[in-house]
Amino acid sequence: MVAGAGPAPVHQTTHQPALGTAALLSLSNVEVLYAEVILALKGVSMQIPQGGCVTLLGANGAGKSTTLKAISGVIDSEDGRVSGGAISFDGRPIHGHDSATTVRAGLVHVMEGRRVLPHMTVEQNLIIGGHMFPSTAAMRRALDAVYQAIPRLAELRKRVAGYLSGGEQQMLVIGRAIMAEPRLMLIDEPSLGLAPRMIEEVFAVLHRLRDQGLALLIVEQNTRVALDIADYGYVMESGRIVLEGRAEELRANEDVREFYLGLDREGGRKSFREVKHYRRRKRWLG
Q: Which domain holds residue 71?
A: 23-280
Judge if pTM exceeds 0.75.
yes
CA angle 215, 172, 51 (to 5 degrees): 5
Total tally of structural domains belonging to the chain: 1
Asked if residue 122 is part of any domain, the answer here is yes
Asked if residue 14 is part of any domain, the answer here is no
Asked if residue 205 is part of any domain, the answer here is yes
User: Phi, psi at residue 19, to the nearest 5°?
Assistant: -110, 10
Asked if residue 153 is part of any domain, the answer here is yes
Asked if residue 97 is part of any domain, the answer here is yes
Asked if residue 13 is part of any domain, the answer here is no
Q: Which tens digit of pLDDT belongs to each residue from 198-246? A: 999 999 999 999 999 999 999 988 888 999 999 999 999 999 999 899 9
pLDDT given at position 218? 97
Residue 30 belongs to domain with CATH number? 3.40.50.300
For 94-105, what is the mean pLDDT?
83
Asked if residue 225 is part of any domain, the answer here is yes
Q: What is the CA 254 to chain-centroid distance, rounded?
A: 23
pLDDT given at position 159? 94
Q: Strand 53-57 relative to strand 232-237: parallel, antiparallel, unpaired?
A: parallel
Task: Return the closest-CA partner of residue 69 out of 78, 60, 61.
Answer: 78
The Cα 222–Cα 213 span in angstroms is: 23
In this prediction, residue 168 has a pLDDT band, given cuts at 50, 70 and 90, of very high
Asked if residue 8 is part of any domain, the answer here is no
Q: Strand 107-110 relative to strand 53-57: parallel, antiparallel, unpaired?
A: unpaired
